[in-house]
Structure 1
């Protein structure tokens, strides 16, 4: 069983993850441990005390982001308005990417068992959010949790092509996506949803 981190160790870990996320966002997977440590204001040895390899550090960043989405989703499952809860979840997911798009780290951590376990938990949370919204008639009946899982990244991905556009452009595409999820005026979808 993992013991809780001491306050200073927990603070160093938070600083380290934030610095690593910034460094990876700027330099991609080529970011060095030395530069990450320097940015965090700690020694390289401290990095390796927390994370044995660069891959472990990447996995920790992904785990942090996925855990945050799970917490948001689980909180929203207690909302009375399932449609609003689903829209809020999509908004939080898009904002997370807007702050710092680190989606490329997902591929770099694909073999990590803990990342896979948490991503499956996130999928289950999304399935529940979508299931509630479907039961309440807030979204069309043929939308699945997998659809939503794939759509989470779309607003920022689309807005990313308009390099000179306003920073809030992603909100436009989120609204279009959410209108497409609503049952009013929905037409049958031409293809079944992909497997989980």
Structure 2
């Protein structure tokens, strides 16, 4: 890919990320092109549909979360490592409305996005297993539980994030404390096996 094409693609992804974060996924391609300082046709030369553009943003965010999860796998304190990963994950969701709004949309059927989700879920399972082994969390919590909690925590805080942008930290603390193996009731319906069936 030529240097100018690489530059334009980067500009488009950054402009789209900001536009989607500000206005959700209904932002027009025209507005994204304007923010990037390129012609509308340039957008379509890189991304045939809005879903492809959303998928590119998803892949960048997933890459960041996977990098964090991989870095934390050798941490001495697995409980703290899991907490750091969850903090990074919910913060990413709170900072980018489009990441959450795209869940369940057709772009999630993108093969690369699905593979990225599976890689992230696998890395989270490794961290979760280590935290269980160290007794930092209850022994019936799975990596799938943790991945789904990230979205749940964000959605809990979402209605007040405009006026209380750090509110997600309160609900993350509540959720993380609920993982502690103290006076815990057995969780029903364990989610095992990743996201293929979700």
1:176 partnered with 2:174? yes
Question: TM-score, with normalisation over the residues of structure 1?
Answer: 0.88
Q: Which has the higher contact order (CA 8 A, sep 6+)?
A: 2
Distance (whole Å) between structure 1 residues aligned to residue 109 and residue 3 of structure 2: 30
CA, structure 1 residues 30+164, in 2 after alignment: closer, same or farther (shift >3 Å)?
Answer: closer
8 A Cα contact 2:62 2:116, kept in partner: yes
Deviation at 1:165, TM superposition (A): 5.1
Structure-to-structure mapping, 1:77-88, within 5 angstroms: 77-88=73-84
Distance (whole Å) between structure 2 residues aligned to residue 165 and residue 19 of structure 1: 24
Q: Deviations over 1:63-117 (max 9, x none)?
A: 1111111111111112111111000000001110121222111323122111111
Question: TM-score, with normalisation over the residues of structure 2?
Answer: 0.87
1:105 partnered with 2:102? yes
Listed as ranges, the gaps of 5+ residues in structure 2 are none
Structure-to-structure mapping, 1:145-184, within 5 angstroms: 145-162=143-160, 166-184=164-182
Structure-to-structure mapping, 1:42-61, within 5 angstroms: 42-61=38-57
8 A Cα contact 1:62 1:106, kept in partner: no
Listed as ranges, the gaps of 5+ residues in structure 1 are none
2:70 to 44, 67, 74: 74
